Amino acid sequence: MKQQAGDLLVGARQCPSPNHDERPPDSPVDLLVIHNISLPPEQFGGPWIDDFFLNRLEPNHHPYFCTICEQRVSSHLLIRRDGELVQYVPLNLRAWHAGKSEFQGRQDCNDYSIGIELEGTDNIPYTDAQYQTLVETTRKIMTLFPSITAERIAGHCDIAPDRKTDPGPIFDWQGYMKALAHQG
């Protein structure tokens, strides 16, 4: 698939991950999935998320890393605690963020979704800077992919409820959707 304008978001720090592939033919992008990640768990900052998505996570840096360093995963985007936007996978390609998943009866959400990771956990509030970047980024994505509407934004917990809980009960869905709907 040829890369086009909009596949890389202006203002995002580009950090290309090898963990992606082509989307299936005739698979329109029409879902946005919100996740969270912190490495090590419940710790923020540092290079570990980048290292994880780039397959260079060193298992000897933290005991938890031994359990995940062989996984090959990615997300399209990450929003750090300070609001920085990082892009790992062009939006036209399939990132490996959802795993076994289903949305409204349709399997394999990676095929037709864009994944955004928030640096955080299920039980620690996200920052105002993260919500601001998330709203701005969501608006850009919705412009590029008009099939993504507010009704087609889900948490990882919604598409893989037996396996995942993120972005967690602390995520302010109501505030996010209200800010997204506000034209300003």
* 5 band by pLDDT with thresholds 50, 70 and 90: low
pLDDT at 46: 93
On whether residue 118 sits in a domain, the answer given is yes
| Closest alpha carbon to 18 in 94, 112, 82, 127 | 94
Cα–Cα distance, 23 to 112 (Å, whole number): 7
Count of domains forming the chain: 1
| Closest alpha carbon to 37 in 4, 68, 6, 10 | 68
Higher pLDDT, 5 or 46: 46
Residues 62-113 have pLDDT tens digits of 999 999 999 999 999 999 999 999 999 999 999 999 999 999 999 999 999 9
Domain that holds residue 176: 14-181
- Give me the CATH number covering residue 55: 3.40.80.10
* 155 band by pLDDT with thresholds 50, 70 and 90: very high
* 184 band by pLDDT with thresholds 50, 70 and 90: low
Q: Of these residues, 22, 117, 119, 136, which one is catalytic?
A: 117
On whether residue 143 sits in a domain, the answer given is yes
pLDDT above 90: residue 171: yes
On whether residue 2 sits in a domain, the answer given is no
| Closest alpha carbon to 112 in 126, 125, 102, 121 | 102
On whether residue 88 sits in a domain, the answer given is yes
Upstream peptide bond of 161 is cis (omega within 30 degrees of 0) = no
On whether residue 147 sits in a domain, the answer given is yes
On whether residue 8 sits in a domain, the answer given is no
pLDDT at 1: 43
pLDDT at 6: 65
Residues 6-62 have pLDDT tens digits of 699 999 999 999 999 999 998 999 999 999 999 999 999 999 999 999 999 999 999
State the Cα angle at 148 between 117 and 124, rounded to 5°.
25
On whether residue 7 sits in a domain, the answer given is no
Residue 136 falls in the annotated catalytic set: no
